[in-house]
Amino acid sequence: MKNGKRSIATLLITVVAIAAMAFLLVVGVGKWHRGQFKNIILGLDLQGGVSITYEAQGKVTSEEMEDVLEKMKNRAENFSTESDVYLEGDKRVVVDIPGVDDAQAVLQSLGAEGKVQFVDSEGNVLLEGADVADARAVSEIRDKESKAQNVIKLEFTSEGRSKFASATANNVGKAISIVYDGEVLSSPTVNEAISSGNAEITGKFSYEEADRIATFIRIGALPVELKEIRSNVVGAKLGDEAIKTSLLAGVIGLAIILLFMIVMYRIPGLAADIALGIYVMIVLLVLNGLNITLTLPGVAGIVLSIGMAVDANVIIFTRIREEIAAGRDVYNAIKNGFSKASTAIIDGNVTTLIAAAVLMFKGSGTVKGFAYTLAIGIIVSMFTALFVTRSILYMLYDFGANKEILYGKQKAVKTINFVKNRFKFFIISGVVIVAGFVMMGVNKSSIDGVFAYGLDFKGGTSLAVEFADDATLPSKDEVKAVFNDNLKVDADVTKVNNANEYVVKSAELSEEQRDEATNSLKDELGASDVTYESISASVSNEMRKDAIIAVLIATVFMLIYIWIRFKHLSTGLSAVIALVHDVLVVLAVYAFTRIEVGNTFIACILTIVGYSINDTIVVFDRIRENQNKMLSKDTMEDVINKSISQTITRSLYTSITTFIMVLVMYIIGVESIKDFTLPLMAGLICGTYSSICIAGMAWYQIGGKKFRGSARKSTYNKPEKNQDGAVV
């Protein structure tokens, strides 16, 4: 056994780390069980609830929006302590309330004016709700012999302090009523003039009653007029089904990948499997520790990043086999394999991180959740591949797994003449892309849009109407009549396959129209549940613009990064050509399948862009390496053909593992996941094709044929020593 102490230390650290992370995920620590898996914050699409976005009308100041934020927080907390209220831009406030049962009541309460007034006995308004800075119920014991007394403590703003001082001075011995939307909450008698800006209301009421009065005072009038521009109601049942199927997909996909790695790579595959297990635990702990809300696309991001995490290991293990085939002993093959693979791994993952970063800044809601989980997954995967897998692999080597047969030897690679067939590849891609544009034209005339745009991109209201069973399921015409006859609104009604459910889409409905439709569907047709999403046209226009800007920003930054790393603009341009090719092919898939283009569209496109660039960089990295080894008789055609032939197995294996994860999600996932994963699978196939058949060919055509390398400058031709110091 070589380096026994190092290996024993690695084993102990690995076992302790896995045990500690498992303990945190199952049991957690502290009063609130921090770290516990079940305490990861779930988005509304995974647990049900209400999300609503308001936009302030007219000119507003930052101070007014901060007041709106605080008051909306108070309103939301009345429904759930887990509610999340935050500002979006300069004039919008987003309210997310998970787990609520009566969604309609929540929406009505959030949007209510909620005017609070302090009125004297003659009906004169003395103060408004905006004059109150805070209101709290408190239970106090005034002296040792008395029981606890429930009081309401009031704190006024600087302007409210002056008003309240005047009001109390003029009404000593009289009552001042506190009125909320016409309802008298309390009518305390003024005992004396109060100029301190603080007051308390006493009386014979329970703590619950005192807290209720304080709450209504506290959430008083909003300082600006708000208009609902987007709302979404998700049933708890749908959310529960989504997370169960997504987690099941992750488990099944991961199990298949773990088996695949052992079968294909033997001992290195075992090391990678252990590292992948650690990877999953770290990702879950980071999500918990950073309080990142896990959404349905976020789950997809984790599952996708698991597949992509395999990529780094495949690159490394392929290199190890090549080193063994070149005559290196196992120890030096491992050492050199990690060293030579690191550049491609880092470059490829950084470009994917660029796509994730763009989503963080330009995305919203669930798309941001996808971006965060994808970014976390990429960073953790680099750490586990370059450090954890290496440590475990050396440990297994030291414990006796040092035979060449346990690692495998790269077979002689037959060089395929890709460059010779480059125009055939260009024609194939051109035909697919042109067909996509033709289909977009057909769609434009038949469905009034080049794609089947969802609410996010065209605005409107979509309702999901569920029924208990087949016996209660009405006809499509009966559902349509609720909207045509009752609301005088034209609606498109679609039956959901294999479910007692209809999806109804129409122009944007007002809150009153949504309420009327919900009541009619339940009372007249017996619907068991009605959920909906509503988006204004102004927001959908913004999302279309943001989608284009996001792709352009990601493309430009990737171009700059590749240009810097490979020192030639032509390399960056050819990589961009490959990713534009992939985007156009995926758009063709959207056009032909008429999958709804919604909020996950941006995440899907940028994921494909990042994945495509990752794959392409591996090819370019090998071209750069082989270029430095060129002999005088070699041509760039030889270098490109050899490089692609050497990396084709890695490209296929990586695509297979990632494809497996996405395919399992497509097979057993809910409908919203299917709409996300189908074009993603097409993108994976296309990205693999473009990295093999387009990127290198484009580089050669642009000007790569003029480049030459020098064996004398190659860092790969330096003599290397094995573990015993002998030159190999």
Which pLDDT value is given to residue 435? 96
The long-range contacts involving 410-416, CB below 8 angstroms and separated by at least 24 positions, are 410/318, 410/321, 410/322, 410/324, 410/325, 411/325, 412/325, 413/642, 413/645, 413/646, 414/645, 415/638, 415/641, 415/642, 415/645, 416/641, 416/644, 416/645, 416/648
Percent of the chain past pLDDT 90, that is, above it, reads 18
Which pLDDT value is given to residue 166? 93
Q: 622 with 579, same domain?
A: yes
Q: 101 with 153, same domain?
A: no
- On whether residue 326 sits in a domain, the answer given is yes
Which pLDDT value is given to residue 28? 63
Point out the domain boundary residue: 535, 570, 595. 535
- On whether residue 526 sits in a domain, the answer given is yes
Q: Is the pLDDT of residue 606 over 80?
A: no
CATH code at 134? 3.30.1360.200
pTM for the whole thing?
0.71
Q: 88 with 159, same domain?
A: no
Q: Is the pLDDT of residue 719 over 50?
A: no
Q: Is the pLDDT of residue 581 over 90?
A: yes
- On whether residue 27 sits in a domain, the answer given is no
CATH code at 466? 3.30.70.1510
Which pLDDT value is given to residue 238? 60
Average the pLDDT over 239-256 and give the result. 78
Q: Is the pLDDT of residue 31 over 70?
A: no
Segment 425-445, tens digit of pLDDT: 999 999 999 999 999 999 988
- On whether residue 36 sits in a domain, the answer given is no
Which pLDDT value is given to residue 103? 63
Q: 530 with 654, same domain?
A: no
Average the pLDDT over 566-585 and give the result. 87
Confidence band (pLDDT; 50, 70, 90) for 38? low
CA distance 180 to 625: 75
Segment 454-476, tens digit of pLDDT: 777 778 888 888 888 888 889 98
Higher-pLDDT residue of 701 and 38 is: 701
Which range, of 113-122, 225-234, 364-373, averages the lowest pLDDT?
Answer: 364-373
- On whether residue 29 sits in a domain, the answer given is no
Confidence band (pLDDT; 50, 70, 90) for 727? very low
Print the domain residue range for 665. Answer: 235-436+540-713
Q: 529 with 613, same domain?
A: no
700, 636 in Cβ contact below 8 A?
yes
As a whole number, the mean pLDDT across the chain is 82
Which pLDDT value is given to residue 418? 93
- On whether residue 195 sits in a domain, the answer given is yes
Q: 549 with 691, same domain?
A: yes
CA-based diameter of the chain, in Å? 107
Average the pLDDT over 90-116 and give the result. 73
Residue 109 φ then ψ, to 5°? -70, -40
Q: 552 with 672, same domain?
A: yes
